[in-house]
Amino acid sequence: MQERTKLEQSINLCNEVETELNDNIELIELGELEDDIDIVTEAEAAIAKLSEKAEELELQTLLSGEADANDAYLEINSGAGGTESQDWANMLLRMYTRWANAHGCKVDLIEMNSGDEAGIKSATIEIKGENAYGWLKTESGVHRLVRISPFDSNAKRHTSFASVWVYPVIDDDFEIDINEADLRIDTYRASGAGGQHVNTTDSAVRITHIPTKIVVQCQNDRSQHKNRATAMKMLKARLYEEELQRREQEAHAEHDAKTDIGWGHQIRSYVLQPYQMVKDLRTGVESGQPDKVLDGDIDMFVNAALAARVHGSSEDIEDIE
């Protein structure tokens, strides 16, 4: 029934656009016949707004993957560079949290490993909302920051790196078989602000899937059993995402820009000094307002990356146009 409702809504929206377009075309023809400039101007303005609505609907059609409607796990890991990279990782965590809040999504912290002096070494959040994974799946990759370091007394310019990995939250409809013999399960003492049991028991759980070297961890609950269950759920989601990536690479092997989005591949640069610019290296989309981007305004990059992922590289899209 949920699937039926979604399909009916999509069809109704398309029908509404078509009806409104035809109505305004008739109004323009009528206005021209009667030499009524006001009617023509009003109808043309309505069609311009309708064009924007059609573009939004077109973007939604890009979210057609089998897991695009799901919630998403988002992992952030700081790169080499100590405090600089750890602070940058924390800035990214803030950026995605603000994006989620602006889009009506709920954010739950699954795991966070604080930095030595500032920022974070790693963090995992769960973003709950309509099409959360579909919108964010192209954000996986390495993000680069260039700025005057607030931690450098000589005020020198520093380059920092942090990686982002996005994968879908999967439910029982997806069957993922995991051999227990392929797992290494470690428990450790959770880090955090303190509180009853938080820092006194080995409640945090880390699971390593030996064949793929995938590591997941959870420490957001006092119960080791609950943390283990959440970590297993995350592991299944990571394995499922790897399978999705493998299928996509096979289906679109000719489009390197669409598939080369794993760890180690830089997808976006955020430059704060000596000039201000954020540039996506896959699509060429740029913004001269990095402050807005770091406040969560990343839709222009997300939309362009989704279009490139579906239609091909930016050069392919230009050829089509």
180-249 placed in CATH 3.50.30.30: no
pLDDT of residue 315: 43
Residue 247 has pLDDT above 70, yes or no: no
Domains in the chain: boundaries: 2-61, 74-163+261-320, 180-249
* pLDDT in the model for residue 145: 93
Q: What is the mean pLDDT of residues 29-33?
A: 90
Domains 74-163+261-320 and 180-249 share a fold: no
Which segment of 1-10, 197-206, 213-222, 289-298 scores lowest on mean pLDDT? 197-206
Average predicted confidence (pLDDT) for the chain: 83
- Per-residue pLDDT of 46-68, as tens digits, reads 999 998 888 778 777 778 777 88
- Between 130 and 310, whose confidence is greater? 130
Name the pTM for this structure.
0.70
Q: What is the pLDDT of residue 1?
A: 81
Residue 72 has pLDDT above 90, yes or no: yes
Provide the token pair at 185.
């399960």
Q: What is the C-alpha separation between 137 and 172, in angstroms, rounded?
A: 21
Q: What percent of the chain has pLDDT over 90?
A: 41
Give pLDDT, residue 53: 83
Contact 93, 125 (CB under 8 A): yes
pLDDT tier at 117, thresholds 50, 70, 90: confident
At 87, is the pLDDT very low, low, confident or very high (cuts 50, 70, 90)? very high
* pLDDT band for position 265 (cuts 50, 70, 90): low
pLDDT greater than 90 at residue 296 = yes
Cα 10 from Cα 12, distance rounded (Å):
5
| Residue 95: band (very low, low, confident or very high) from pLDDT cuts 50, 70, 90 | very high
- 3-state SS class at 36: coil
Q: Mean of the pLDDT values across residues 26-39?
A: 90
Q: Tell which phi-psi region holds residue 242, choosing left (phi > 0), alpha (psi between -120 and 50) or beta.
A: alpha
pLDDT band, residue 242 (cuts 50/70/90) = confident
What pLDDT, on the 0 to 100 scale, is given for residue 208? 92
> Helix, strand, or coil here: 115?
coil
Topology given in CATH for the domain delimited by 74-163+261-320:
Alpha-Beta Plaits (3.30.70)
Band of pLDDT at residue 174, cut at 50, 70 and 90: low
CA 11 to chain centre: 27
DSSP letter assigned to residue 155 = -
